[in-house]
Amino acid sequence: MKASHVEIIVAIADAGSLRAAAGRVGKTQPALTKALRQAEDELGARIFTRAARGVEPTEVGRAVIARARVVQAELRKLDEEVRQIQGDRSGSLHVTVSPLAAVRIIPRVMDRFRRRFPGVHVQIAGGHPPSTLATLRSSETDIVIGPVPDDEARTGLIVKNLFASPISVITGAGSRYAGVTRLADLTGAEWIMIGPRRRVFGVGQDFRRLGMTPPDPVTTSDSITSLLAMIEGSERVCSFPTLLLDEIAPRWKILRIPLTDRVTPVQIGLMIRADRPLTPAGRTFVEAVELQAATIGAPDDPASDNQ
């Protein structure tokens, strides 16, 4: 299949019709239709079928489109890499980060990165596993910074451990749980979890270690703001990165529960695909992340006394 076929397949999938796709790629509709038929003939299968409005992919087509998106992304990165090696400082980089990384890593990383690559467009998106790893595998994301996956989920990835993030349990100011010291006292509390429902509930392992059934977080939120708003002034509880509390606590009526039971830290890492080399800009970004991560918890770090 030719590179031009890849382009039109993705364009048709995104546009939903041959006419709209033709406009996107600068071809006439007959020329686009002819190119699509060539691609289908080479594959020996239909990629799209007519629908009430436009076209929709066949079962084979869905697999072809997914692969075509990866190929298109790789061709774009190949072009960027060649240009950057030749001295060009433009391009694009897609990075997905956890809330902790967004606050404690990204700002200073961008300062370092911009000194080397002022013209590269950097798209920063928030996210949590497992969806972040799915976008990494599909080439929608170049770099993920956040909780490292378990061994099974690491297949095909390079994982660089950055630092261990201490975890606190927070509740609303005035909550009846404000002064408890044992996890056992929180078994009946309403728990909220950062991230999607299918994410692993990290504190669950600490309950199990103590011989207790972990509570089930019945509310989850990708938005830190909405999560804190639900906790503020309530008796809800949530595990939360300790390194963010100094920045968050003064603005919200929340507090850290003084637990004496150990809450297992979360390992924060940087993930990239093993089979997808980064561009020079991507490698520079990773180096800046590693430099900044090395300062987390160091004596000159603002939160180092509160871990």
The pairing of beta strand 191-194 with beta strand 167-172: unpaired
Note the pLDDT of residue 15: 93
Provide the mean pLDDT of the chain: 90
> Is the confidence at residue 305, as pLDDT, over 60?
no
Q: Tell me the pLDDT tens digit for each residue of 243-299.
A: 998 888 888 999 999 999 999 999 999 999 999 899 999 999 999 999 999 998 654
Q: Does domain 167-264 have CATH number 3.40.190.10?
A: yes
3-80: CATH, from 3.20.20.70, 1.20.1430.10, 3.40.50.300, 1.10.10.10? 1.10.10.10
Please state which of the ranges 31-45, 74-88, 171-185, 253-267 shows the lowest mean pLDDT. Answer: 74-88
pLDDT > 90: percent of the chain: 67
Give the number of other CB atoms < 10 A from CB of residue 152. Answer: 6
Q: Tell me the pLDDT tens digit for each residue of 207-255.
A: 999 999 998 888 888 888 999 999 998 999 999 999 998 888 888 999 9
SS3 category, 95 = strand
Range 89-163+268-306: architecture per CATH: 3-Layer(aba) Sandwich (3.40)
What's the predicted TM-score (pTM) here? 0.80
> Is the confidence at residue 51, as pLDDT, over 90?
no
> Is the confidence at residue 65, as pLDDT, over 70?
yes
Q: Assign 3-class secondary structure to 112-178.
A: HHHHHCCEEEEEEEECCCCHHHHHHHCCCCCEEEEECCCHHHHCCEEEEEEEEECEEEEEECCCCCC
Note the pLDDT of residue 299: 41
Is residue 21 within 8 A of residue 15, CB to CB? The reply is yes
Domain with CATH 1.10.10.10 in the chain: 3-80
Q: Is 87 left (phi over 0), alpha (psi -120 to 50) or beta?
A: left
Q: State the sign of the Cα–Cα–Cα–Cα dihedral 254, 216, 195, 130.
A: positive
> Is the confidence at residue 85, as pLDDT, over 80?
yes
Is residue 105 within 8 A of residue 269, CB to CB? The reply is no
> Is the confidence at residue 200, as pLDDT, over 80?
no
Domain with CATH 3.40.190.10 in the chain: 89-163+268-306, 167-264
Q: Tell me the pLDDT tens digit for each residue of 115-137.
A: 999 999 999 999 887 888 989 98
Please state which of the ranges 32-41, 178-187, 194-203, 279-288 shows the lowest mean pLDDT. Answer: 194-203
Confidence of residue 306 (pLDDT cuts 50, 70, 90): very low
Q: Tell me the pLDDT tens digit for each residue of 5-32.
A: 999 999 999 999 999 999 988 999 999 9
Note the pLDDT of residue 255: 94
> Is the confidence at residue 303, as pLDDT, over 60?
no
| Rounded mean pLDDT, 200-205 | 80
Run of H or E residues at 104: helix 99-104
Is residue 21 within 8 A of residue 31, CB to CB? The reply is no
Note the pLDDT of residue 289: 98
